[in-house]
């Protein structure tokens, strides 16, 4: 009993959820669509009753053996009514279809928009767990199925009106046949519910292979991958793997489809058998003159409509229950918290001091990467985080920008825990360039202004930021045209950028942002030593009154820094200026000398 109650609650919750989505997509359109469906549901009954009257009139005329003028006029009037009803219903159905198509588009747009908003806002830690990528893509895949489910909700409501009217008429005609019709629909519901669940389980079982096949397909059209594919002559191998996976997917789909077709036949058998029996029974009643031929048309039509409307409702109910997992997964993603990071309400105007106190951190499902980390950075200091790969430098920046929360310890700005600051205000106060920055297929202006959209129209400021980073693309330098598109994905005259030029573009974003704190994660990795030196000198000159934190592997810039934080395996093993660390920390000295020798 408890399980039944739980299923009823879940069904009701899913129905309400879908109904809410339907109305949120376009409230006015949906109300009007429901109203027109209610009107349209009356049409078949009028049609059936008129046809019954016409047939009865014709039967009377034929049995009398002569044509009565009054009867003939009555038939003509009924035929005119029938024609009018058909024309009106045809127009109404056409209009309903048009409204439905528009509603479907509105609904799909709304669902996709909500998914996009959620994807843009959810906490970055969500993407650190591999299985979450499957959930994300599964939700995107479910969007189309969900819009069908949600729209089916509207159709179900319309079917409820039709079913209620049909049931009233059917009970009036014969109550016990009505009960039998309803009972014989139960097996179809059971079959349908199980089939929907099997369909979803099958989709999930194929999802990984389908996603991998999509990845292989995309690789052959991916420009960055084109060089390696041709260099190592892997095109045929990729195609072969794609064909092999697609063949397996097709075979599995065909096998599943055949199984589902057999289930559908078995599911429909009881209700079809019942409809045949009803027709035989009414024919018998006509033959013994208890019913007229018009009654046969009318009664069988009522029970067929009852069967159809009940079937529509049960199909939707089965879909909601059978798709329960699908809806649950969609709701789970749809209702994710936008961020696991708690936001305070303090604004941040100036940064006087940054403190890491005994900070430890562990990525979800991974080992601890920071161990009891402690250091300070004062206002206007130029600090550098250095260390080998895997030492935790980038993680420090992610914690400072509050993409994650420390597992242990605390991070303070101006003596106040970062949790007390408004997250957006905190990030506005920090101009950050990560090593895995992204260059978008937009214009140069749009790419730079991402750092500060309030200055989108300030062409001179954008050009100044590009000049500062020494952005040296020839096409751009010809006319300082910031409206040139980057790459040729959408514009044939787009410009192609080298790795170094992309990095300079990312640095320009940070400059335009003009924040209190500049954080650069490997900002010169793609630059030659001369370009690196020029940019660092420019930063030191331009940002004398700002705080700079730089993450780097190369130590050539270390001598210009006010403070060096030397890290190894997630721990701070030395803090100080270059000459202090060079004299006191052997590992730092060895690493610096090793790199210096490469340039001598």
pLDDT tens for 7-32 read 667 767 777 777 777 777 777 777 77
Q: What is the pLDDT of residue 358?
A: 93
Mean pLDDT (the chain, rounded)? 77
The pLDDT assigned to 354 comes to: 92
For residue 495, name the pLDDT band (cuts at 50, 70, 90): confident
Nearby residues of 102 by Cβ (< 8 Å), 6 or more positions away? 26, 29
Confidence of residue 360 (pLDDT cuts 50, 70, 90): very high
pLDDT-wise least confident of 405-419, 478-492, 517-531: 517-531
Q: What is the pLDDT of residue 538?
A: 67
Residues with Cβ < 8 Å from 380, sequence gap 6 or more? 544, 545, 546, 547
What pLDDT is recorded for position 359?
A: 93
- Alpha carbon 275 to its chain centroid, in Å, reads 44
pLDDT at 137: 63
Q: Are 347 and 421 in contact (CB under 8 A)?
A: yes
**CATH 3.40.50.300 assigned to 346-429+517-600:** yes
pLDDT digits (tens, 9 = 90+) for 199-213: 777 877 787 788 788
Buried b (16+ CB within 10 A) or exposed e, 496-514: ebeebbbbbbbbbbbbbbe
Share of the chain above pLDDT 90, in %: 4
Q: What share of the chain is helix, strand, coil (3-state, %, to 5)?
A: 65, 10, 20
Handedness of CA 522, 523, 525, 526 (dihedral sign): positive
pTM greater than the 0.75 cutoff = no
Mean pLDDT, rounded, for 60-87: 67
Per-residue pLDDT, averaged over 215-235, amounts to: 74
Tell me the pLDDT tens digit for each residue of 322-356: 566 667 767 766 666 555 566 778 888 888 899 99
Confidence band of 412 (pLDDT split at 50, 70, 90): very high
What tokens appear for 168 in the block?
């009233």
Task: For residue 383, give the 3-state DSSP assignment.
Answer: strand
Q: Superfamily assignment of 12-334 in CATH?
A: ABC transporter type 1, transmembrane domain (1.20.1560.10)
Give the contacts of 30 (CB within 8 A, at least 6 positions apart).
22, 23, 103, 154
What residue has token string 């995309």? 218
- Let me know: does 115 contact 143? Beta carbons within 8 Å: yes
In this predicted structure, the answer to whether residue 394 has a pLDDT above a threshold of 70 is yes
Contacts of 96 (CB under 8 A, 6+ apart): 33, 36, 37, 40
* 99 vs 29: CA distance, rounded Å: 7
Domain boundaries, the chain: 12-334, 346-429+517-600, 439-514
Average pLDDT over residues 496-507: 84
Residue 68 binned pLDDT confidence (cut-offs 50, 70, 90): low
- pLDDT of the residue at 27: 74
Q: What is d(CA 566, CA 587) in angstroms, rounded to the nearest whole number?
A: 9
């Amino acid at each position: 009993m408890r399980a039944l109650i739980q299923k009823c609650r879940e069904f009701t919750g899913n129905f309400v959820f879908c109904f809410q989505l339907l109305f949120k997509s376009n409230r006015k359109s949906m109300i009007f669509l429901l109203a027109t469906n209610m009107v349209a549901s009356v049409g078949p009954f009028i049609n059936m009753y008129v046809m019954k009257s016409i047939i009865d009139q014709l039967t009377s005329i034929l049995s009398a053996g002569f044509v009565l003028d009054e009867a003939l006029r009555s038939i003509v009037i009924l035929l005119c009514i029938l024609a009018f009803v058909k024309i009106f219903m045809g127009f109404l159905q056409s209009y309903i279809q048009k409204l439905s198509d528009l509603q479907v588009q509105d609904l799909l747009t709304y669902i996709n928009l909500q998914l996009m908003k959620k994807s843009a806002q959810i906490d970055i830690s969500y993407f650190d767990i591999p299985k979450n990528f499957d959930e994300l893509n599964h939700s995107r895949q479910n969007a189309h199925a969900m819009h069908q489910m949600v729209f089916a909700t509207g159709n179900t409501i319309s079917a409820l009106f039709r079913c209620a009217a049909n049931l009233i008429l059917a009970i009036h005609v014969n109550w016990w046949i009505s009960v039998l019709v309803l009972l014989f629909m139960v097996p179809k519901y059971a079959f349908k519910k199980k089939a929907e669940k099997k369909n979803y389980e099958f989709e999930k079982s194929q999802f990984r292979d389908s996603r991998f096949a999509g990845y292989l397909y995309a690789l052959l059209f991916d420009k960055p991958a084109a060089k390696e594919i041709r260099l190592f002559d892997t095109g045929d191998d990729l195609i072969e793997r794609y064909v092999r996976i697609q063949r397996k997917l097709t075979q599995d789909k065909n096998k599943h489809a055949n199984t589902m077709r057999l289930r559908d036949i078995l599911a429909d058998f009881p209700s079809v058998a019942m409809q045949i029996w009803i027709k035989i029974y009414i024919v018998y009643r006509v033959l013994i003159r208890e019913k007229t031929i018009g009654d046969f048309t009318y009664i069988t039509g009522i029970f067929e409509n009852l069967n159809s409307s009940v079937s529509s409702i049960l199909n939707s109910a089965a879909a909601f229950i059978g798709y329960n997992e699908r809806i649950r997964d969609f709701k789970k993603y749809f209702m994710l918290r936008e961020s696991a990071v708690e936001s305070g309400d303090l604004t941040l105007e100036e940064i006087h001091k940054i403190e890491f106190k005994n900070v430890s951190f562990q990525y979800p499902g991974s080992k601890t990467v920071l161990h009891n980390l402690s250091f300070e950075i004062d206002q206007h200091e130029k600090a550098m985080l250095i260390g080998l790969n895997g030492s935790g430098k980038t993680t420090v920046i992610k914690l400072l920008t509050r993409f994650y929360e420390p597992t242990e310890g605390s991070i303070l700005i101006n003596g106040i825990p970062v949790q007390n600051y408004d997250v957006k205000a905190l990030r506005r106060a920090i101009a950050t360039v990560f090593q895995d920055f992204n260059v978008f297929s937009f214009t140069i202006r749009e790419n730079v202004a991402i750092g500060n959209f309030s200055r989108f129209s300030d062409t001179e400021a954008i050009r100044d930021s590009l000049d500062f980073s020494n952005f040296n693309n020839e096409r751009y330098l010809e006319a300082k045209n910031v409206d040139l598109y980057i790459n040729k994905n959408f514009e044939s005259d787009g410009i192609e950028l080298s790795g170094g030029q992309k990095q300079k573009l990312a640095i320009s974003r940070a400059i335009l942002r003009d924040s209190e704190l500049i954080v650069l994660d490997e900002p010169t990795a793609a630059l030659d030593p001369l370009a690196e030196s020029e940019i660092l000198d420019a930063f030191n000159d331009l940002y004398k009154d700002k705080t700079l934190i730089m993450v780097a592997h190369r130590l050539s810039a270390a001598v210009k820094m006010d403070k060096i934080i030397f890290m190894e395996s997630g721990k701070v093993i030395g803090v100080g200026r270059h000459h202090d660390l060079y004299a006191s920390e052997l590992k730092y000295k060895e690493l610096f000398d090793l790199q210096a020798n490469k340039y001598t």
